[in-house]
């Protein structure tokens, strides 16, 4: 009995010792964890190049949306929770169709800008707009292309603004110059005539190289080859509304190929033979013309003549693989050899637009009614008030060009059988 008591006491003592040890160890671990954590973060921020890791880490946390699952929560207009004066409360928007924090949700896409070093400070405004309204949530890369070498200041300033990776490329001389089959005397004569007729950019050589480059080469620059989708951005543009979904993913998921915000007729004097050249191409290559295309958008007589309607290409979202396709490459070569980039002043906008309208089924072309866009002198400002408020648009709908008489978007809506937004007549 005395021996079993002693055993019990020994067992109790041992058990108490074990409990005490566990307590001390667990307390000790949590204390040292906190210390390690805080001391390591102090070491990190003081010993590293502070700006890079610390600020980018903070930005990512802030940018994370409240919850991607909060899809399409409608606004709260007045009533309980409304503004004290009874006016409609500005609704909150939670429209997330993909998780921007998730790298695997991203598609193979990049912004692309053709620019000169001298365009820098107009361009930074455009980058800021795109980043604030869209890319700070998605961090897509940005490719800058130039016929000259980008200087260090250009690279430093732009890469500080872009939240994705930045790439800078120089354009090959053979893609920014007169091709050997062009008669440069004839081209000079045309420039003189266009100058006398006061045709905008009519006397400019560099503008012609730019239009030819944007028509036939930007999508096959080595820096662009790893991407499938692009968004073209020019200096001095504005984006008016929050874009809370991944536009590139939207394009990918819906198999869209070409997206625009503004459409209007081209100056006829710059493209006198573009349509005849296109018709000859179609005759020789009927296999490239898509069924159910948008011919009726660009022609009012089933293809006999071109009405000049084109998507304004200073804004473009699209699938680069379309420009790299056999149909488009053959079309570009055909146009290039016809010489109209130099003997006239063919723009990349009508060239892209005619190709998208003829070689694509119409459902592959997309009009963005929710972005809000400006490039001097035209505005796209959503006329739907709810859309404007929920997307924090900062534009005046009275300035919207979409349904004005001169805009080709009216025709686009009727050709595609789309319903115009309520009240569009008030902005026509």
| φ, ψ for residue 106, nearest 5 deg | -75, 150
For residues 97, 100, 101, 107, the Cα torsion angle rounded to the nearest 10 degrees is 110
316 is catalytic: yes
Contact 264, 312 (CB under 8 A): yes
| φ, ψ for residue 410, nearest 5 deg | -55, -50
Catalytic residue, candidates 96, 266, 316, 344: 316
Q: What is the CA radius of gyration of the chain?
A: 29
Choose the one of ligand GTP, Mg ion, none that binds residue 116, judging by a C-beta under 5 to 8 angstroms depending on kind.
ligand GTP
Q: Is residue 170 a contact point for ligand GTP (CB under 6 A)? A: no
What DSSP assignment string belongs to 63-80? HS-S-TT-TTPPP--SST
String of contacts with ligand GTP for each residue 231-270, x by CB under 6 A: ---xx-----------------------------------
Least CB distance to Mg ion at residue 260 (A):
15
User: Of 46, 231, 43, 37, which Cα lies nearest the Cα of 134?
Assistant: 231
Choose the one of Mg ion, ligand GTP, none that binds residue 114, judging by a C-beta under 5 to 8 angstroms depending on kind.
ligand GTP
Q: Which conformational region is residue 303 in: left (phi greater than 0), alpha (psi within -120 to 50 degrees), or beta?
A: left
Least CB distance to Mg ion at residue 375 (A):
6
Least CB distance to ligand GTP at residue 237 (A):
9
Contact 338, 273 (CB under 8 A): yes
Stretch that binds ligand GTP, among 112-120, 155-163, 248-256, 301-309 (CB under 6 A): 112-120
Stretch that binds ligand GTP, among 85-93, 111-119, 129-137, 222-230 (CB under 6 A): 111-119
Candidates 234, 242, 246, 266: give the one binding Mg ion (CB under 5 A): 234
Least CB distance to ligand GTP at residue 172 (A):
13
User: Of 302, 266, 260, which Cα lies nearest the Cα of 409?
Assistant: 260
7, 102, 366 from 361: Cα distances, Å: 90, 32, 11
String of contacts with ligand GTP for each residue 115-154, x by CB under 6 A: xx--x--------------------------xx-------
Q: Is residue 141 a contact point for Mg ion (CB under 5 A)? A: no
Distance CA 279, CA 369 (A): 31
Q: Is residue 390 a contact point for ligand GTP (CB under 6 A)? A: no
Residues of this chain that interact with ligand GTP (CB under 6 A) are 113-116, 119, 146-147, 206, 210, 234-235, 314, 376
Catalytic residues: 316
């Amino acid at each position: 009995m005395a021996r079993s008591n002693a055993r019990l006491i020994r067992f109790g003592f041992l058990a108490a010792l074990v409990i005490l040890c566990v307590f001390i160890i667990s307390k000790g671990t949590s204390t040292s964890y906190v210390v390690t954590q805080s001391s390591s973060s102090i070491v990190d921020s003081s010993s590293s190049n502070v700006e890079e890791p610390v600020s980018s880490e903070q930005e990512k946390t802030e940018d994370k949306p409240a919850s991607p699952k909060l899809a399409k929560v409608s606004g709260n207009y007045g009533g309980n929770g409304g503004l004290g004066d009874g006016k409609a409360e500005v609704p909150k928007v939670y429209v997330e169709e993909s998780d921007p924090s998730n790298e695997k949700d991203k598609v193979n896409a990049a912004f692309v800008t053709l620019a000169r070093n001298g365009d820098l400070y107009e361009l930074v405004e455009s980058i800021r707009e795109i980043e604030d309204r869209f890319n700070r949530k998605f961090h897509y890369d940005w490719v800058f292309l130039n016929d000259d070498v980008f200087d260090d200041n250009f690279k430093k300033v732009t890469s500080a603004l872009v939240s994705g990776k930045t790439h800078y490329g120089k354009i090959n001389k053979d893609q920014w110059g007169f091709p050997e089959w062009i008669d440069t005397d004839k081209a000079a004569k045309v420039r003189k005539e266009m100058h006398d007729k006061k045709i905008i950019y009519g006397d400019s050589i560099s503008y012609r190289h730019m239009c030819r480059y944007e028509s036939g080469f930007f999508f096959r620059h080595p820096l662009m080859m790893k991407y499938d989708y692009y968004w073209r951005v020019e200096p001095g543009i504005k984006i008016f509304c929050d874009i809370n979904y991944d536009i590139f993913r939207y394009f990918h998921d819906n198999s869209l190929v070409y997206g625009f915000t503004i459409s209007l007729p081209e100056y006829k004097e710059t493209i006198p033979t573009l349509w005849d050249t296109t018709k000859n191409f179609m005759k020789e290559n009927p296999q490239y013309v898509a069924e159910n295309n948008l011919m009726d958008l660009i022609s009012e007589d089933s293809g006999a003549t071109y009405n000049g309607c084109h998507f304004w290409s200073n804004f473009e979202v699209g699938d680069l693989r379309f420009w790299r396709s056999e149909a488009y490459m053959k079309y570009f070569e055909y146009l290039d050899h016809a010489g109209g980039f130099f003997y006239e002043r063919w723009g990349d906008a009508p060239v892209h637009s005619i190709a998208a309208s003829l070689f694509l089924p119409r459902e592959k072309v997309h009009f963005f009614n929710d972005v809000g866009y400006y490039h001097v002198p035209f505005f796209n400002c959503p006329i739907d008030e709810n859309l404007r408020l929920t997307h924090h648009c900062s534009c005046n709908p009275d300035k919207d060009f979409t349904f004005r008489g001169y805009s080709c978007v009216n025709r686009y809506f009727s050709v595609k059988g789309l319903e115009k937004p309520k009240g569009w007549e008030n902005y026509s």
